[in-house]
Amino acid sequence: MMKSFVSPIRLIAVLLAVTALCAAQQDKAPAAGSSLVSGTKSPAAPAEFQARSPRYHIEPGDSFDILFELSPEFNQTGVAVQPDGFVTLRGVGDLKVADQTVPELTQTLRSAYSKILNAPLISVVLKEFEKPYFVADGQVAKPGKYEMHGRTTLTQAIAMAGGFQASAKHSQVLLFRRVDDQWTEAKLIDVKKMEKHGNLTEDPFLHPGDMLFVPKNTMAKIDRFIPNLSMGSYLPLTIP
């Protein structure tokens, strides 16, 4: 009697453990409608398409002014970031500043100048920098790189690129967004459904550097196998 009573209890315990393990694995699965590509490890904190607000990072070719509130003799204008990411500054020499945000650059300058000044108060003003942009590719009328002026949604970006071509697959527009140096997030958006129902609540706002890609529809993919017949290729219609 004891053996027949203990065996079901063990069985129930095993089933509970397996159920808990399956639930934990499902919690770790990626959300539907998006995927991460171009990497070997998943990032610690995947970015959301609607919530992420990245700051601009200094790049080679940018330039900025440095203003010292209490030591104007150190003011410098038009400091250019060299191709290697370094700048040459009065009093402190070469500093690498590429890939820093403006707050990070300000802190870098304060640390460097604190060696020759007492608690320097420094302001950084960007002068020349890459304007926010997005890239439209695939089956749009005018593929290319476009500057962003204010908040721009996906459908607005498609309109700026001349709209869809006849060969476009409206229901599978891909939006690519860079998460970090190793990962790019991809999201599939059904623009055809949004436009059909007049519901643009799922129309995402683009972030600088985003790329949208419009693939070909099925007929467009096989179109190259269909001969293009000119009017002269048709036989005259004979009516009895």
What confidence score (pLDDT) does residue 199 get?
Answer: 79
DSSP annotation string for 42-62: --SSPPPTTT--PPP---TT-
Distance CA 199, CA 202 (A): 7
Distance CA 190, CA 218 (A): 16
CATH code at 133-224: 3.10.560.10
Can you say whether the dihedral through the CA atoms of 5, 10, 11, 16 is positive or negative?
positive
What confidence score (pLDDT) does residue 53 get?
Answer: 58
Arch. (CATH architecture) of 63-128? 2-Layer Sandwich (3.30)
- List, for residues 134-180, the tens digit of each pLDDT value: 999 999 999 999 988 888 999 999 999 999 999 999 999 999 988 77
Cβ pair 59, 129 in contact under 8 A? yes
**Which residue would you say has higher pLDDT here, 79 or 222?**
79
Cβ pair 150, 204 in contact under 8 A? no
Distance CA 180, CA 40 (A): 13
Task: Tokens 């095993």: give the residue.
Answer: 14
**Which residue would you say has higher pLDDT here, 45 or 190?**
190
Q: Where are the domains of the chain?
A: 63-128, 133-224
What confidence score (pLDDT) does residue 225 get?
Answer: 56
Distance CA 184, CA 188 (A): 13
Res 6 pLDDT > 90: no
- List, for residues 192-205, the tens digit of each pLDDT value: 988 888 877 788 99
Phi, psi (degrees; rounded to nearest 5) at 120: -65, 140
Edge-to-edge, what's the strand order for the sheet holding 63-68?
76-80, 63-68, 122-128
